[in-house]
Amino acid sequence: MSLLRRLAGKRRGIDDLIFDSVNILLMLILVVVMLYPMLNTLAISLNDATDTVRGGLHILPRSFTTHNYTHVFNEAQVIRAGITSVLRTVVGTGLGVFASAMVAYTISRPHFILKRFTTLAFVLTMYMNAGLIPTYLLNRELGLIGSFWVYILPTLIGVFNLIVIRSFIEGLPETIFESARMDGAGEFVQFFKIALPLAVPVIATVSLFVAVGQWNQWFDVFIYNSSIPELSTLQYELMKVLQSTNTSGGGAADSFADSLGGQVEMVTPQSVRAAMTVVVSVPIIMVYPFLQKYFVKGLTLGGVKG
């Protein structure tokens, strides 16, 4: 009997060892698969363009240069698009999160007369989408086409974010609000002085979601403002470069690359694309490790309770 147990125990030990080894191996493969494409692009962006054409470049640049980046930043359009991108991210996140938090606060109040109505009206829109064309026509009627506000207003409040914030505020102890009411605090005071400060973790999470969405958006630029260079964004500029090289192997990226002609060091569409990809991605990648501890919590809240 004891021998059997010992054997079983031992076998379990070997099983465990195999399991752990396989698991760690799989995780290492995952890490490589996740990181390789990004590091490869980074390497191309930091490598001399003529050298890149030779091929065989993996995760380290062979012939280091920052020339591709100087080239990208010398384009006036890139700077302008960068400003628009930052602007839409900041304004869109600020206004959107504020509006979401305010509505979330009202539907978190148990006594609010429109609590159910408001909640339902918002949640229904998650699945009831009028579609591209009616939305397009509406924005045209409202005069939003050709304007910066088409990036902000139509997507001001995201329902998922609303629910996440509401769940968080509902989780706060009601006694805090009660005692504030005793002291004569109105709803606005309760919202600004109590709900908002206490909801910082969830506000941070939602801000990250909205900011990522705003920064990464290109479709609204494409649909509404593609003819207005002042309102173009980095993602849209990158999209144009990518599309032109994808389809015809030249086009915009070529002219983009050629526009600095006469220079000694050459750039190719491939290197420009890589440098631009890095420029577009680094800001958002930089932010998220700082907010990681918040968003895991926030996402869980929204998903489980939502």
Partner 1 sequence: MAQPVNPIEVKERIKYKGKHKVNLQRPKKGPKYFFRKCKEQKELLWMSVPFLIWLFIFKYLPLGGWVMAFQNFRPARGFLDQEWAGFDNFRFLFGSERFLEIMRNTLAMSIINLVLGFVTAVTLAVLLNELRNITFKRVVQTISYMPHFLSWVVVAGLVSTALSMDDGIINTVLLNLGIIDTPVMWLGVGHYFWGIIGASDVWKSVGWNSIIYLAAMTMIDQEQYEAAEIDGASRMQRIWYITLPGIKPVVVILLIMNIGYILESGFEAQYLLMNSMNMDFAENLDIYVLRYGISMANFSLATAAGMFKTIISFIFLFGANKIAEKLGEARLF
The residue within the footprint of partner 1, chosen from 7, 79, 121, 176 (CB under 8 A), is 121
Query: What six digits make up the tokens of 233?
Result: 């964004």
Q: Which is nearer to partner 1, 179 or 248 (CB)?
A: 248
Angle between helices 269-305 and 2-45 (to 10 degrees): 140
The residue within the footprint of partner 1, chosen from 238, 257, 272, 275 (CB under 8 A), is 238
Q: Which is nearer to partner 1, 127 or 264 (CB)?
A: 127
The residue within the footprint of partner 1, chosen from 125, 179, 255, 259 (CB under 8 A), is 125
Rule CB under 8 A: say whether 134 interacts with partner 1.
Answer: yes
Rule CB under 8 A: say whether 135 interacts with partner 1.
Answer: yes
The 53-92 site mask, x for binding partner 1 (CB under 8 A), equals --xxx-----------------------------------
Minimum distance of partner 1 from residue 33's CB (angstroms)? 7
Q: Which is nearer to partner 1, 151 or 218 (CB)?
A: 218
Q: Can you give the length of the chain in residues? A: 306
The residue within the footprint of partner 1, chosen from 6, 13, 20, 265 (CB under 8 A), is 20
CB of 305 closer than 8 Å to CB of 167: yes
